[in-house]
Structure 1
Amino acid sequence: MLPMSPSSAMETPRRFFAPAAPYSRRPPSPPAIIIPGPVVYNNEPIKVVPSYKNVDPASLSLDDLQIITQNGKELIAHDSATNWAYENRRTAQPILDYLYLGPASIARDRQWLRDNGITLLVAARDSRMAGLRLMGVDRVAKELGIQAEHIDVSGHHELIRAFPMAVRKINDHMLSVYRSQAVRDDEGARAQGGDMVIDKANFKRGRVLVFCETGNDRSAGIVIAYLMSVMGMSMVQACQFIHFRRFCVSLDEELKQLLKNYEEILAAQRTVHRHEMDTVAHGPAPSFPTPAKKGKRGIEETMRGDGDDDEMTDPFSMDRDRYIGREAFVPFVDTREVTTEY
């Protein structure tokens, strides 16, 4: 009998064992994020009032928020599905009274840009296509005398770093347009210290168009991030609001997970910065003794229900079915036939 080669010896066990269930080598996918339909009756619109308590004070002051939102003007979105037509996807819709979302083709429509008073173009494009100038609108912007910005990312995974930059570009433009129209007061002195005098009869507000190839994914993500950052909406609220405005918006699972992560980042930043500002204004909070930490409970203690936690507050008391009555599972089974010698 010839001896087996080392490679054959290594492969032999694989013939005798098989997986007991299908499995994959990739990491497990996170749970799908379901965006529920808004709770409205009789085709009522979605109404949202901007609140400064939901905004990061380090990124936007109360005065700046009032300038951008016109003193907290109520936001209203009607369900566009009732009168949506396929052709509407080729134009842009106003998500806010100063913020539009649409495809790249509308950014080259000079007449539309003039009619809607657009003062800033924000292109969300693939960085690999930036050199080809497929979505370049600099010539159109220069011709119309408006500003153009580009948010270049190679994929959705880079958007979360681009969100703050895009939000800042839009806010800076809105504030710049407002402050550039400050006029002289009755005494002929220039308004100073943020106490600006605006000629309401001739004032022209800034307006921004955010776009990508289709106006339905990458640029939609930027606008949703803007609604969360500036208007204080949750991720679900922002998705519902933008879908009411532009019915053809389509968010894949990767983009929704990204926006959910960004929502958590905003919440953490808001909490930290408000605590820092309160500390500066009122001094550090009194310290209290830190309770002694208990060791981590093992599975046996968890199953017995031991410990100081009340059964109603014990997180495992509502989850005992996960441990009780569960059948044993063996990941691999032996496929060799068992023979009996007499």
Structure 2
Amino acid sequence: MAFSSRHGVVPTAPFSSRPPSPPAIKIPTPILPNANEPIKILPSYENVDPASLSVEDLEIITQNRKEQLAHDSAINWTYSSRRLAQPVLDFLYLGPSNVARDRKWLRETGITMLLAVRDAKMASMRLLDVDTLAKELGIQAGYVDITGYHELVRAFPLAIRMINDHILNIYRSQALNRGVTQVLPASMMVDTVNFRRGKVLVFCETGNDRSASVVVAYLMSVLGMDLVRACQFIHFKRFCISLEDEIKQRLKTYEDILLAERTVHRHQLSNSLGGPSKPKRSIEDAMDIDNATGGAAGAAVLDLDRFAYRQTLAPFVDIKEDGVE
């Protein structure tokens, strides 16, 4: 006999002993005017957290906010394409670990940094270690080590900062006015003929999960894309990416963090520049929603909307002698 039956009650709905899981995050096919239409992204400082990047930094990283395009790679995709790296942005590549050891491709593409996103166990065994290769080619190597998907939210800001710092350092090392404190427009700061732009390859074993999640997080942070749009964009670039639902949940959490930080920092910046500041409501103002209602009753009224359209649900019902009540 079931536990509930032995106690004179039965459940009104099926029960599960596992913890509740969040709803699955669906990434729909992008709606475009025609099948050959690319996804277009125009970088804008309005979508960037002002505490993470300045206007000048964004212009340097995106080359004066150059438009980014993603054509549907599924049209010409082959199985062997998964062994290659694809340019997600014109300075950011995504691929598997074998590409990170292809000296010819790295030289021809002009990669200046290898960023490995690996399991922490691999770090202790020096797997996916590219220090020797990077030293040979005169480029930079970086690592983001995690013990599981639960650490991705912590890892995203670190990886994004490493990419941005590298791109900015490569640019500033070639700046013509390195000894001048005055900030000039980005187009006037380098010798455009001999300028070598920084390029980063983000990789993991397959190039389809951990490293892909870092690139999605980068699109959300630097280009201000939402989670769905960022996933659609990167899927157009690398058709074989496979983000488990747990990874998408971490990315959703990171998206919420980015939105909160962006809102708070823009509000702080507006206040520091003398912009209008809206005072916070006091608890008394929040409670004073009805002159006829006050005290504890007023607090209860504030909570009514949560229950307005809910149906009454009793998890268990009593068993009568002649059947279920």
Q: How high is the TM-score relative to the length of structure 2?
A: 0.86
**Native 8 Å contact 2:144 2:155 kept in 1:** yes
Other-structure match for 2:182: 193
Q: Deviations over 1:291-319 (max 9, x none)?
A: 241312499xx5xxxxxxxxxxx6766x3
Instruction: Tell me which amino acid in the other structure corresponds to 1:55.
Output: V
Matches of 1:130 and 1:171, distance apart in 2: 23
Counterpart selection for 1:106 from 73, 88, 99:
99
Cα deviation for residue 280 of structure 1 reads 1.1
1:282 partnered with 2:274: yes
Other-structure match for 1:6: none
Within 5 A, what are the aligned runs for 1:202-213? 202-213=194-205
Other-structure match for 2:208: 216
Task: Decide whether aligned partners of structure 1 residues 330 and 146 sit closer, same or farther in structure 2, where only a CA change above 3 A counts.
Answer: closer
Matches of 2:281 and 2:146, distance apart in 1: 48
Matches of 1:267 and 1:330, distance apart in 2: 37
Matches of 2:176 and 2:299, distance apart in 1: 66
Other-structure match for 2:63: 70
Task: Decide whether aligned partners of structure 1 residues 201 and 128 sit closer, same or farther in structure 2, where only a CA change above 3 A counts.
Answer: same
Task: Decide whether aligned partners of structure 1 residues 45 and 271 sit closer, same or farther in structure 2, where only a CA change above 3 A counts.
Answer: same
Instruction: Tell me which amino acid in the other structure corresponds to 1:194.
Output: V
Task: Decide whether aligned partners of structure 1 residues 286 and 41 sit closer, same or farther in structure 2, where only a CA change above 3 A counts.
Answer: closer
Counterpart selection for 2:79 from 86, 89, 94:
86
**Native 8 Å contact 2:4 2:10 kept in 1:** no
Matches of 2:65 and 2:111, distance apart in 1: 22
Other-structure match for 1:125: 118
Cα deviation for residue 85 of structure 1 reads 0.5
Cα deviation for residue 333 of structure 1 reads 6.8
Q: Deviations over 1:205-231 (max 9, x none)?
A: 000000011100000110011001101
**Native 8 Å contact 2:113 2:142 kept in 1:** yes
Matches of 1:12 and 1:255, distance apart in 2: 37
1:42 partnered with 2:34: yes
Q: Deviations over 1:30-79 (max 9, x none)?
A: 11111111111222000011111110000000000001001111110000
Other-structure match for 1:295: 299
Is there any run of 5+ residues in structure 2 with no aligned partner, and where?
288-297
Matches of 2:2 and 2:60, distance apart in 1: 74
Is there any run of 5+ residues in structure 1 with no aligned partner, and where?
1-10, 303-313
Other-structure match for 2:44: 51
Instruction: Kindly tell me the number of residue pairs found equivalent between the two proteins.
Output: 305
The alignment yields a C-alpha RMSD, in angstroms, of: 2.7
Q: How high is the TM-score relative to the length of structure 1?
A: 0.82
Task: Decide whether aligned partners of structure 1 residues 292 and 151 sit closer, same or farther in structure 2, where only a CA change above 3 A counts.
Answer: closer
1:16 partnered with 2:6: yes
**Native 8 Å contact 1:107 1:211 kept in 2:** yes
Task: Decide whether aligned partners of structure 1 residues 104 and 19 sit closer, same or farther in structure 2, where only a CA change above 3 A counts.
Answer: farther
Task: Decide whether aligned partners of structure 1 residues 139 and 285 sit closer, same or farther in structure 2, where only a CA change above 3 A counts.
Answer: same
Other-structure match for 1:232: 224
Matches of 2:108 and 2:170, distance apart in 1: 18
Matches of 2:243 and 2:3, distance apart in 1: 46
Matches of 2:33 and 2:206, distance apart in 1: 31
Other-structure match for 1:32: 24
Task: Decide whether aligned partners of structure 1 residues 143 and 333 sit closer, same or farther in structure 2, where only a CA change above 3 A counts.
Answer: farther
Task: Decide whether aligned partners of structure 1 residues 332 and 107 sit closer, same or farther in structure 2, where only a CA change above 3 A counts.
Answer: farther
Within 5 A, what are the aligned runs for 1:121-200? 121-183=114-176, 190-195=179-184, 197-200=189-192
Task: Decide whether aligned partners of structure 1 residues 253 and 280 sit closer, same or farther in structure 2, where only a CA change above 3 A counts.
Answer: same
Matches of 1:15 and 1:214, distance apart in 2: 51
Q: Secondary structure at the match of 1:24?
A: coil
Instruction: Tell me which amino acid in the other structure corresponds to 1:255.
Output: I
Matches of 2:64 and 2:2, distance apart in 1: 75
Q: Deviations over 1:78-105 (max 9, x none)?
A: 0001110010101100000000000111
